[in-house]
Structure 1
Amino acid sequence: MLFRSRPSVLGIAEDTLEFALEAAEDAHPNEYLGVFRGTPAEELDLDADGDVITDVLFIPKTTSSPVQATLQSDLVPNDRHTVGTVHSHPNGVLAPSDQDRQMFGRWPVHVILGAPYGRDCWRAFDREGEPRDLDVLDVEIPTDEEFFDFDQEDIDEELGL
């Protein structure tokens, strides 16, 4: 099959939501903008079909101000596990603007985070900008521990020193 549809989005990992809220708070008073990636539910030991949002990517060349954030859409990974966006509204309004709605059509989930960035200061929307349910799931997010398993000798070898 040449083209595959995107898997459904089952929910967001609790740790991922907490990360996004903290990143938005750190960016305040500017908007925060990231891209959601999902992990297949079976990789998280869930008996379900679809993806769970487990990652937030910061896209290079993203710009931010107190009233808007923009990203270079051509730098966003274009695969079936890129499932949406997350951005903040420093004014605390948890509703999409007309500009937000223009960006929403590409992916099935969009989350708006609002000041003061507490646990209940967010809302999820579908690709049309309508509110949607997004369960917060207590799952263990897999890490690639080998990626971080290196020391100075490994670095020197990689650099040819």
Structure 2
Amino acid sequence: MRLGSRPPVVGIAAETLDFAREAARDAHPNEYLGVLQATPSADLDGFRDRDGVVVTDILVIPATKSGPTSATMRRHLVPNDNRTVGSIHSHPSGVLRPSDEDRQTFGAGVVHVILGAPYGPDDWRAFDSEGERRSLPVLDVDLPDPESFFDFTQEDIDEELE
């Protein structure tokens, strides 16, 4: 891999895509918008032998505004780190191709997902930074339980602070 390049995005976790489809349904008739974050394949059981990253998380940026035909986020609040790999948003119209406005925002990231109403298993497409359709396999990945994030004690905190 050359200096400054990103590892390839090898897929999206099925659970992550399901979460996004549900969020898009909940936001309908307004657009849903989030930031895609990835985990190195080497950190995921069953994918340790693959080179690259898997989309495992979606961040919803505070103060994101959404309406029936567009959604905007405060770009300065998007993490500028190696985990951020692209964007995901819905088209309540069901159209599964990027608009000119979408293409203008695709430069930041390597994969961008559009979800279309009615947000079923086949109602989505992935695109590259140029707005061209790309492959993004849906992978059966064991993600950590979100509740485990809060599974700590005061003793754990004290130990971390030492």
User: With structure 2 as the length reference, what TM-score do the two structures score?
Assistant: 0.88
Aligned residue in 1 for 2:159: none
Q: Deviations over 1:38-79 (max 9, x none)?
A: 000011131111110000000011100001000111100001
Aligned residue in 1 for 2:12: 12
SS in 1 for 2:68: coil
Aligned residue in 2 for 1:28: 28
Tell me, in whole angstroms, the C-alpha distance in 2 between the residues paired with 1:144 and 1:87.
Answer: 22
Aligned residue in 2 for 1:159: none
Identity of aligned residues (%): 64
SS in 2 for 1:105: coil
Aligned residue in 2 for 1:142: 144
- Segment of structure 1 superposing worse, 70-79 or 142-151: 142-151
Q: Deviations over 1:5-44 (max 9, x none)?
A: 3221000000000000000000000000000000000111
The answer to whether the 8 A contact 1:32-1:87 is kept is: yes
Tell me, in whole angstroms, the C-alpha distance in 2 between the residues paired with 1:150 and 1:38.
Answer: 24
In structure 1, runs of 5+ residues without a counterpart are: 155-161
User: With structure 1 as the length reference, what TM-score do the two structures score?
Assistant: 0.88
Q: What is the deviation of 1:149?
A: 2.1
* Deviant stretches of 4+, over 6 Å: none
Q: State the Cα RMSD in Å.
A: 1.8
Aligned residue in 2 for 1:118: 120
Aligned residue in 1 for 2:105: 103
In structure 2, runs of 5+ residues without a counterpart are: 156-162
Q: How many residues end up aligned between the 2 structures?
A: 151
Match of residue 76, structure 1, among 51, 60, 78: 78
